[in-house]
């Protein structure tokens, strides 16, 4: 894994799917047509912290809805794309437009619609409870499931590899992560 | 199980109960008289995918309510019956009307009200946490519990047996499965 | 346990606490001051079924709120008491008024406020995850936790002992248990 | 641990973080900008009970929102601080103003923003599923996770050490803990 750690140092962007990654895949439809989802405070903390450290976080989700979008605004994520039908085309556009080396891009997904992106990037990773096909193509399978800390796990490893995982809170408090507006 | 796989190839329709199958049995009543339920994104993906592949999916539930009905519309399921008091009579009508071979019908249920249908069809199956009586009559007990992927498990096996479980997403994205209207 | 089974045959009433018994103890406060709770469909089924069989079910809860009360109405429970400060006084009144033999009363509770009632009745029982003090005084500890089927477990055992746990659904469908009004 | 028990006898105040301690870290954003959280009835019972016994309970949370604040009012907690950006400064002010001995203060937190407070007090404790850095500095790691009873575990131990954990309910019923207003 020394090799893997070296790759983590070079990571230029971390791309995340939402359902099944930031959540356990649980979807609670409401009568008004919106969905509610249960996120994890520790995942949220690590995302807000990484953003503050200047690590590039990109969200690409097929889902949409008010609560989904506000969640990532809240965490300070500037690049969050929702209601995406074709994830690969979007990801490729971002990579080519910004001159990223796709070998240094991490993509964390959990199900079939993520497979194309996972085959495209250099470092596909997934939660412990990802679909079989996703686990098969992943370079790293977190020991944490979706919504159980898999996002935190990956971000911590990258920040540690880059020497950015600090012992202080860098001004990122739970007030950033879990307060109402 | 080679035998079982051959039977799966011939499946003409897959019938699902909802509570305890698509969910862990959890029911959250709201003050307005509606219920909310927590579904599983991976289950949802497999249902939408199967429908696109032309596999016949039928929902027969004793429950009702706006969020329940919209969930399955959303996944593209055309045959969803709610507030059903007598499941067997309805199922028999469908089978006879459409000339299905009941030996080639799968029914997944989890509790006593499902027993009659499970004894009627050729291939009764259930989640890992089904009631004892249901487990006893099942041809196949998924290793996943209700709401934990048992629907996905069964659909994947059938689609694999039929050679329809593809590696691409067939245009079924999470945007089909988990977006608000 | 042959002894225990004989006692179950004679049971005259089953009394349940709600939080931590019908639920995992999870309480979700809403902004309007109400609480929402997650119930279990299999528990609900067994309660509705027992009521139909003429088994006396009594709910005694310290909680209150619209969704709590409607839940048990829905299941057909006629004797449900909410916002109860002194559970023992209420229970003793019921027992004495109706000439019940308290040795033949089951009480299922999970925490300290249930202890007095559990010491009063002949057959105190509890979920797997009850408080230490509650487990210590219980005649039977279910292998299921609160909200995980402990209610169903106890009701099934009593109905089996009485020869009332049938293989048919007795007209109790999930439509009784999980439909909106 | 005899040593630890002696320290517990002398405890002057118990300080709790909320997300990840009173909850499993799960955060459910609603469309109106509020969050809902799932609390644990057994934790709530022990907090209300400790308050009645005159044990000082202090909540310091980075979160805010109507449901968060009403939860602790409900349990009788007088000192609950929300939307706190700098937890250590607040805690130090309280300790110095009231002449507490910080060696006799317990702080239970689960993540990086809690570290400064945990290093400040004499008895830092944490849930089983706290962040690695938090576990490393803790004097005691509960075998229960956040929202799974870790609060109850700590309060029970302290009250037992002080001889205050009674067998009766002291008038603290679930009606104190889980009723709507």
Whether the predicted pLDDT of C176 surpasses 80: no
Among chain D, residues having any CB pair with chain C shorter than 8 Å are 32, 34, 36-42, 44-45, 49, 65-67, 70-71, 74, 147, 167-169, 171-181
Q: How confident is the model at residue A4 (pLDDT cuts 50, 70, 90)?
A: confident
Contacts of C25 in chain B (CB under 8 A): none
> Which residue from C minimizes the CA distance to B116?
C168
Mean predicted confidence (pLDDT) in B21-34: 88
**Buried-exposed string A89-105: b where 16+ CB fall within 10 A, e elsewhere:** ebbeebbeeeebebebb
Across the B/C interface, how many CB contacts are shorter than 8 Å? 100
The average confidence (pLDDT) of chain A is: 90
Fold of the domain built from segment(s) A2-105+144-177: Rossmann fold (3.40.50)
Tens of pLDDT, residues A90-99 = 999 999 999 9
- What span, in angstroms and rounded, lies between the C-alpha atoms of D105 and D15? 7
What are the strands of the beta sheet with C35-36, ordered from one edge? C35-36, C26-29, D39-40
- Best residue of B84, B112, B114 to probe chain C, by most C CBs closer than 10 Å: B112
> Is C29 within 8 Å of D71 when comparing Cβ atoms?
yes
Question: B148 to chain C nearest CA, in Å?
Answer: 14
Asked if the B2-103 domain carries CATH number 3.10.20.30, the reply is no
Whether the predicted pLDDT of B179 surpasses 60: no
> Is B26 within 8 Å of C44 when comparing Cβ atoms?
no
Fold of the domain built from segment(s) C2-177: Rossmann fold (3.40.50)
Helices (H) and strands (E) in chain A, counts: 8, 9
> Is B110 within 8 Å of C174 when comparing Cβ atoms?
no
Alpha-carbon torsion (C169, C171, C172, C176), positive or negative:
positive
Q: Please spell the DSSP secondary structure of B100-140, one letter per residue.
A: --GGGEEEE--SGGGHHHHHHSSEEEE-TT--HHHHHH-SE
- Give the nearest partner residue to D181 out of C18, C20, C33, using CB atoms: C33
The one-digit pLDDT tens for each residue of chain D (181 residues) are 457 888 999 999 999 999 999 999 999 988 777 788 999 999 999 999 999 999 999 999 998 777 888 899 989 999 999 999 999 999 999 999 999 999 999 999 999 999 999 999 999 999 999 999 999 999 999 999 999 999 999 999 999 999 998 655 555 554 455 443 3
Q: Give C181 or D42, the one with higher predicted confidence.
A: D42
Tens of pLDDT, residues C76-122 = 999 999 999 999 999 999 999 999 999 999 999 999 999 999 999 99
- Best residue of C26, C61, C110 to probe chain D, by most D CBs closer than 10 Å: C26
Tens of pLDDT, residues B126-174 = 999 999 999 999 999 999 999 999 999 999 999 999 999 865 555 555 4
- pLDDT, residue B1, reads 46
Angle at the Cα of C144 from the Cα atoms of C141 and C150, rounded to 5 degrees: 80
Domains of chain C, by residue range, sit at: 2-177
- pLDDT, residue B67, reads 85
Touching A (3+ Cβ pairs <8 A), the chains are B, D
Contacts of C168 in chain B (CB under 8 A): 112, 115-116
* Pick from D148, D137, D125, D115: nearest CA to D43: D148
Whether the predicted pLDDT of A158 surpasses 90: yes
> Is D64 within 8 Å of A174 when comparing Cβ atoms?
no
Whether the predicted pLDDT of C159 surpasses 60: yes
- pLDDT, residue C162, reads 92
- pLDDT, residue A173, reads 52
Question: B178 to chain C nearest CA, in Å?
Answer: 22
> Which residue from A minimizes the CA distance to D84?
A175
- Give the nearest partner residue to B44 out of A23, A27, A30, using CB atoms: A27
Q: D123-126 and D140-141: which strand pairing? A: parallel
Question: D142 to chain C nearest CA, in Å?
Answer: 15
Touching B (3+ Cβ pairs <8 A), the chains are A, C
Provide the ipTM: 0.83
CATH code assigned to D2-166:
3.40.50.1000
Question: D48 to chain A nearest CA, in Å?
Answer: 24
- Residue C83 CB neighbour total at 10 angstroms: 16
- Give the nearest partner residue to A40 out of D25, D83, D133, using CB atoms: D25
Across the A/D interface, how many CB contacts are shorter than 8 Å? 100
Contact between D19 and A38 (Cβ < 8 Å): no
Question: C68 to chain B nearest CA, in Å?
Answer: 8
- Give the nearest partner residue to D61 out of A36, A42, A174, using CB atoms: A174
- Give the nearest partner residue to D34 out of A173, A176, A180, using CB atoms: A180
What pTM was estimated for this model as a whole? 0.88
């Amino acid at each position: 894994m020394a090799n893997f750690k070296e790759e983590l140092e070079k990571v230029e962007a971390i791309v995340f799917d939402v359902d099944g990654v930031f959540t356990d895949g649980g979807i609670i439809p409401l009568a008004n047509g919106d969905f509610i989802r249960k996120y994890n405070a520790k995942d949220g903390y690590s995302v807000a912290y990484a953003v503050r450290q200047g690590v590039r976080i990109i969200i690409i989700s097929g889902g949409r809805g008010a609560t989904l979008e506000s969640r990532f605004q809240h965490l300070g994520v500037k690049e969050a794309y929702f209601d995406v039908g074709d994830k690969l085309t979007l990801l490729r556009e971002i990579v080519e437009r910004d001159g990223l080396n796709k070998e240094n891009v991490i993509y964390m997904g959990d199900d079939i619609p993520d497979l194309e992106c996972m085959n495209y990037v250099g470092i596909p990773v997934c939660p412990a409870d990802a679909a079989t096909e996703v686990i098969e193509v992943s370079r790293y399978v977190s020991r944490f499931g979706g919504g159980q800390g898999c996002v935190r796990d990956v971000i911590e490893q990258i920040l540690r590899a880059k020497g950015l995982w600090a012992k202080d809170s860098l001004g990122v408090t739970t007030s950033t992560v879990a307060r109402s507006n």
